A and B are shown apart, each in its own frame.
Chain A
Amino acid sequence: MATAVSILPAQQLATLEDAYRRSVARKRLKAALATAIFCAALLIAAFGAEVNLRTLFTYFGNFVSYFDRILTLESGARVWTDFPEWFWGWQKWLKMLGETILISYVGTLTGAVFAFALNFFAAQNTSPGPWVRFVIRRLLEFARTVPGIVFALIFVIAFGLGPMAGVLAIAIHTTGALGKLFAEIVENADMKPVEGIRSTGASWLSCMRFAVLPQVSAGYASYALLRFEINVREASVMGFVGAGGIGQELVVAIRKFYYSDVSAILVTIIVTVFIIDISTGWLRGRLFGKETRR
């Protein structure tokens, strides 16, 4: 069977190819320019960050051997050969871990309650007035842009060392983060029920309670659970600045070179984070079946 691919005459082809080459060349030039600018920025950044490749090469062995060291017991054996020795402080660590989870739980719940109280004022469709909205939005933005650990540093000075500072720092950060997400859910809610309730002469509060809340509560719970997951990680480092939880033990172990303790605490943290991730994922699946995991 004979098929013929029709080929354009050379002259026509030449103009087409020319146009093609030109457009490709322009694209390539743009890409090359962007790459050059990016590389220049990287170079400047490398100077700014005092990057010293020689240090890295000299000490990179240390990084690898660090993991070798934290996986070795004092007796010289590998950690997994002697679990009781590796996890010698498990009672203390479990208690601290419990404290960490409690910090994130109390912080998340407090933050969620505040976010819940504020979000109707921050959402465009339910806010009583533009001024209230502006002020609340800036407030939430501030609360979520300043890192939680900075709040913790300040609260440790105001409230004293201990888990209370950690809880409050997490609560403030959570208020900011959840307030924004909650307000976005409210903005996506259907406004017809609100009109229905308002037409019966109800107050603003009743409108929120009976028209908006039933639509949004599932989304709220889902985001709050997600935040709890994130806050467990956050709470595990709050101890670095003295704000309670397992971070305190970890930072002591790292700074004082208790190598096998470092790996033991890290393993407990990672396992806990896994368990919390999986169980909140399961819980969210149970509660709000159709929503997919992030």
Chain B
Amino acid sequence: MSQLPKPDTAELRAKYPGVFERPASARLALPAMIAAAVGIFVYGLVDLDFSPTKLITGMSQLGWITMMMIPPNPGASFPLYMQALGETLSIALLGTTLAALFALPVSLLAARNVIPSNLIRFPVRRFLDSIRGVDTLIWALVWINVVGLGPFAGVLAIMVSDFGAFGKLFSEAIEAADRKQVEGIRASGGNALHEIRFGLLPQVLPVIAGQVLYFIESNTRSATIIGIVGAGGIGLQLAEQIRVLEWQKVSFLILMILIAVAAIDFISSKLRFAIIGQRAVV
């Protein structure tokens, strides 16, 4: 077998200066960025009181906790936990549905092809943005102040925070809708409401239904955590059991949440495909 001729590096260098001699700025950009990232990281570790001893003692504590969690055991409170889980699912379902109902008319106001005027659209969009900027947990705290502790506050919290998200997603779906149907309705003499009802809604409803289902799924997770601040559901039980260090019950509750979330995932993905065919959602 013949050997390949030895490459002449000097000649190659002269031929392709762009490859061999990149300007210093390009060569140094990546290391500089990495150095900056590591620098901030180290500063963060120092500022946030990280210390090896704390980490090691914490880890051994965590090891103990994990050992205490096995085997998961609900004790005598299993019916109570099932009820709490039902409460959580109710919160997710009700909160998401209400949010979707309220968001639909508002999203029309935020869609460019329905309201061409910037004057209305801009404030509506900023309003929705600020609602989304506030976390569900914060909304839960606010609603607890208003309607008291309990799952109802959770429903309202999920409703408000999803209202912001839905308003944005729905208006995007409406903007992506095809103009032709709307023009067809107008050509046959329909008014603005007819255009929305017969031209836009049939196009966007399947997309919206898919998004609502997806949110019910993700809200099952949110609904578990808003219980931690006192808004009902399984999160309330979880936070209580963690505070009294009943680790076997904690691990059982976590297991319940995992199974419930997986089940909801499964059902809603089946439903989603049934509604919108094999089109991808979100």
Contact = CB atoms under 8 A, between A and B. Distances in A.
Interface of A: 41-42, 44-52, 55-56, 59-60, 62-63, 66, 99, 102-103, 105-106, 109, 142, 145-147, 149-150, 153-155, 157-160, 162-164, 167, 233-234, 236-237, 240-241, 244, 250-251, 254-255, 266, 269-270, 273-274
Interface stretch (B17-25, B136-144, B182-190): B136-144
A52 B152 contact: yes
B48 A163 contact: yes
Given A106-B44, A241-B228, A59 B94 contact: no
**Which range contains the number of B residues in contact with the other chain?**
35 or more
A269 B132 CA distance: 12
B60 to A, nearest CB: 9
B62 to A, nearest CB: 4
A155 B145 CA distance: 28
A109 B225 CA distance: 24
A-side interface mostly:
helix
B94 A251 contact: no
A149 B228 contact: yes
A233 B134 CA distance: 8
B65 A106 contact: no
B148 A55 contact: yes
Interface in B199-244: 221, 224-225, 228-229, 232, 235, 238-239, 242
Interface string B112-148: 0000000000000000011001110110011101111
B87 interface: yes
Contact of A266 (B89, B134, B224, B232): B134
A56 B151 CA distance: 13
A45 B49 contact: no
B65 A153 contact: no
A46 B62 contact: no
Contacts of A52: 152
Contacts of B65: 154, 157-158
Contacts of B94: 42, 45-46, 49, 51
A217 B110 CA distance: 36
Nearest to B155: A49
Nearest to B224: A147
Interface of B: 37, 40-41, 43-45, 47-50, 54-55, 58-59, 61-62, 65, 86-87, 89-91, 93-94, 97, 129-130, 133-135, 137-138, 141-143, 145-148, 150-152, 154-156, 221, 224-225, 228-229, 232, 235, 238-239, 242, 245, 250, 254, 257-258, 261-262
Contact of B86 (A48, A55, A269): A48
Contact of B44 (A102, A147, A153, A162): A102
B147 A147 contact: no
A105 B54 CA distance: 20
Contacts of B138: 237, 250, 254, 266
Contact of A42 (B54, B97, B156, B232): B97
Nearest to A271: B133
Contact of A49 (B54, B90, B135): B90
B-side interface mostly:
helix
A163 B49 contact: yes
A159 B62 CA distance: 8
Given A55-B148, A66-B142, A160-B58, A49 B40 contact: no
B221 A46 contact: no
Contact of B58 (A149, A150, A158): A158
Nearest to B65: A158
Nearest to A105: B44
A35 to B, nearest CB: 12
A157 B254 CA distance: 17
A282 B12 CA distance: 38
Nearest to A257: B145
A237 B135 contact: yes
B145 A270 contact: no
B242 A154 contact: yes
Given A49-B151, A105-B40, A160-B54, A153 B221 contact: no
A241 B225 CA distance: 11
Which of A157, A163, A250 has most chain B Cβ within 10 Å?
A: A157
Contacts of A241: 228, 239
B48 A44 contact: no
A210 B261 CA distance: 39
Contacts of B59: 158
25 contacts: A41-B93, A45-B90, A48-B89, A49-B154, A55-B152, A56-B156, A60-B146, A62-B145, A66-B142, A102-B48, A106-B41, A145-B262, A147-B221, A149-B225, A150-B228, A155-B58, A157-B245, A159-B54, A160-B54, A163-B48, A164-B49, A164-B50, A241-B239, A254-B145, A274-B133
